[in-house]
Structure formats: structure tokens, C-alpha cells
């Protein structure tokens, strides 16, 4: 016969079982988190792949919550609860595992994209537009799966999203234009993080990021220029990192008409070779190019071509070249004439 005393004993026993199951789940999860996963991480760290490290690190954060909730679930099953409560608990457990798996998958895939981007010249590493699209897509799929497991038909949801998406697309034409322009910019492979570009409006700088709306460019003066993706996609853009970062630049020089042009060319080439070897950023094996191109008003004009490893290096190299060439011309007696004008004055009677 079931008495109040027996009922109290069963209730106490069930609560103790609930505590034991919950504590066991927590301790087992803690054991995996503190003992097993670190050892697994050390083994995986020895491999040449970066992907497995990311997966283990992401899963490790969820080991304790997973087994704690699992232990709590088995503990609650020991209580004399109504069947509907068991149904709610099972659904809650399923939703928790699906949602946590969605978070893990989104973090892993987003991380894999960044790892792939860092090893590739065709992606913008840390480009937020790619990561955001991936995360939104995975979360949307996860939510649809949760709805499906709860017996909610997703067909009306997808229909509503389609109609609503059309309305949103009409209302946000400019925003969507920037979004798809950003995707086009990235997929073209013509822009990578750190590329030095100059746009048609005159601004130049290094690409820092491409978001869903705009491209961020950091100038040499350490200021930030934000250009809408749609405008950037329609502009003429000079990319000084393609097809490679090395580039040549020209310095125009004028020497007096009584100069020995062969000697001037020889001295200038010697200075260029010296600068290429001594100044950081210069291409040491570059063969200097000197070309005379014009008879000026007071001098013979020539162009000296130098080569540097990247766009920014040209400024230091050019400055060092001008200073060194000026000293060398003085030593060699080569005259750089000042611009002169002859003015005739007619005296009136």
C-alpha cells in the first residue's frame, strides 16, 4: 500500500537520482574538457592541417554543457512527472542540441573560410561580408530544422519569406546593390587584403575589409576611406598589387646643355644601383633605365626608371635617390640648371 511515508521516500530517492545524474553528466563533460580534449588537441597540432585544430577547439567549448544537459535529462526522467512534461523536456533537449550544433557549424565554416582566405590570393581574409552571409545562412537552416522537428511545416514559412523577400528587395534596392557588388568584387579575385589601390576619384590606400555595404580603404596618412561597394564596382580602379607587388616609377631630371650626356647617364645608373641595394624596398637586381626625351627651355630632360618591391616603398626610394643624385652631380661637375627666361623690353620714344 502506497503511504505518505513511501511517497516521500520515492520523491527523495528521485531527487537524489536527479542530482547524481546531473553531477555525473557535469563531471564526465569536465573530464572530457580538461583531460581528453587537450590531449587530442596536442595530437592534432602535429598534423599539417589547420582545419582539425579549429574543429576540436570549437567543440571543446560545448562538451560540458552537452553532458550536463544530458545528465539533467536522464535525472528528470527519474521523477514522476506527467507525460506532457517529458514531451516538453525531450523537445527542449532536441532544440538545445540542434541549436548548439548550428552554432558550432557556423563557427567552424566561418573559421575555415578565413583559414582558406589566408592561404589564398583570391580572397579577402577576414572579409566580414563572406562570414556574415555564411553565418546567416547556417542559422536560417538551423531554425528551419528546429521548426520541422517540432511539427511545424516550413512550407508556409518559406512562402512567406519569398513574398517578404520580394518586398524587402524592392525597399532595399541600394542596400542589396551594395551587397551583390561586394560579392562581385570579392569573387573577381582582383582585390585582396593589403592591396594598394587608387580609385578614379583620386583617393588611394590599402584595402582593409569589404563588408555587406562598403569597402574600407586606409590611406597613407592613416585615415579611413569608406566607399560603397556599388560605386567601387563601377569605378576605374588601379591595383598596384597585380599582377605582382613590384613596380617601376620614373623620376624626371634636367641637365644643362653643355653636359656630357653619356657621362650623365653612367653616373645616374651608378646612383640608381647603389640606391637599389642600400635602401629598403628597392629591387637590388634591377637594371636601371635612362632615356632622354626632350630639349627643355633650359635643360635636356631625361627619365630615370627605378623599381621597388611595393607601391609604398617608392617614396623612400625616390627621396634617397634625389638626395644621392644631387650630391653625385655636384661631385662630378654636372649642372642642373635653374629654369630661365629672357625678357626683352622695347623702349618707346
Cα 271 from Cα 287, distance rounded (Å): 12
Give pLDDT tens digits along the chain (349 positions): 434 444 355 467 677 877 888 888 889 888 888 888 888 878 877 776 666 777 888 888 888 888 888 888 887 777 766 667 777 878 888 888 888 888 888 888 877 776 665 554 444 444 566 677 778 888 888 888 888 787 777 676 666 666 555 555 555 566 677 777 777 777 777 777 778 888 888 888 888 888 778 888 998 888 888 888 888 888 888 888 888 888 999 999 999 999 999 999 999 999 999 999 999 989 988 999 999 999 988 899 999 999 999 888 999 999 999 999 999 999 999 988 877 666 666 666 5
CB under 8 Å to 215, separation ≥6 — which residues?
182, 185, 191, 207, 209, 226, 227, 228, 229, 232
Cα 308 from Cα 320, distance rounded (Å): 13
Report pLDDT for 116: 61
CATH number of 247-332: 3.30.70.100
Report pLDDT for 26: 87
178-239: CATH topology: SH3 type barrels. (2.30.30)
Report pLDDT for 117: 57
Sign of CA dihedral 184, 188, 193, 199: negative
Examine domains 178-239 and 247-332 and report if their fold is the same: no
**Cell numbers at residue 36, please?**
581528453
**Cell numbers at residue 3, please?**
503511504
Cell 525531450, residue located? 90
Report pLDDT for 4: 44
**Cell numbers at residue 98, please?**
540542434
Give the start-to-end residue ranges of the domains of the chain: 4-146, 178-239, 247-332
Amino acid at each position: 500500500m502506497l503511504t505518505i511515508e513511501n511517497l516521500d521516500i520515492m520523491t527523495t530517492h528521485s531527487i537524489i537520482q536527479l542530482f547524481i545524474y546531473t553531477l555525473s553528466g557535469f563531471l564526465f563533460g569536465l573530464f572530457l574538457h580538461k583531460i581528453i580534449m587537450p590531449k587530442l588537441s596536442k595530437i592534432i597540432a602535429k598534423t599539417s592541417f589547420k582545419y582539425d585544430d579549429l574543429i576540436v577547439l570549437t567543440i571543446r567549448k560545448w562538451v560540458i554543457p552537452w553532458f550536463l544537459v544530458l545528465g539533467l535529462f536522464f535525472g528528470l526522467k527519474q521523477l514522476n512527472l506527467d507525460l506532457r512534461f517529458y514531451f516538453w523536456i525531450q523537445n527542449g533537449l532536441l532544440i538545445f542540441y540542434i541549436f548548439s550544433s548550428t552554432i558550432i557549424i557556423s563557427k567552424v565554416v566561418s573559421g575555415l573560410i578565413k583559414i582558406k582566405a589566408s592561404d589564398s590570393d583570391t580572397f579577402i581574409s577576414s572579409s566580414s561580408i563572406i562570414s556574415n552571409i555564411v553565418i546567416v545562412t547556417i542559422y536560417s537552416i538551423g531554425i528551419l530544422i528546429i521548426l520541422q522537428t517540432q511539427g511545424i511545416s516550413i512550407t508556409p514559412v518559406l512562402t512567406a519569406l519569398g513574398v517578404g523577400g520580394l518586398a524587402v528587395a524592392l525597399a532595399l534596392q541600394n542596400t542589396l546593390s551594395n551587397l551583390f557588388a561586394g560579392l562581385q568584387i570579392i569573387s573577381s579575385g582582383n582585390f585582396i587584403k593589403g592591396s594598394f589601390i587608387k580609385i578614379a576619384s583620386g583617393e588611394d590606400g590599402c584595402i582593409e575589409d569589404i563588408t555587406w555595404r562598403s569597402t574600407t580603404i586606409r590611406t597613407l596618412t592613416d585615415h579611413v576611406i569608406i566607399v560603397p561597394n556599388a560605386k567601387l564596382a563601377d569605378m576605374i580602379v588601379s591595383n598596384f598589387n597585380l599582377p605582382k607587388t613590384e613596380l617601376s616609377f620614373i623620376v624626371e631630371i634636367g641637365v644643362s646643355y653643355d653636359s656630357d650626356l653619356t657621362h650623365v647617364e653612367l653616373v645616374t645608373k651608378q646612383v640608381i644601383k647603389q640606391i637599389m641595394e642600400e635602401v629598403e624596398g628597392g629591387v637590388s637586381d634591377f637594371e636601371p633605365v635612362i632615356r632622354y626625351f626632350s630639349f627643355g627651355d633650359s635643360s635636356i630632360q631625361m627619365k630615370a626608371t627605378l623599381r621597388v618591391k611595393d607601391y609604398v616603398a617608392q617614396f623612400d626610394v625616390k627621396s634617397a635617390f634625389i638626395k644621392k643624385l644631387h650630391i653625385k652631380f655636384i661631385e662630378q661637375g654636372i649642372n642642373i640648371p635653374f629654369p630661365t627666361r629672357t625678357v626683352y623690353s622695347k623702349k618707346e620714344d
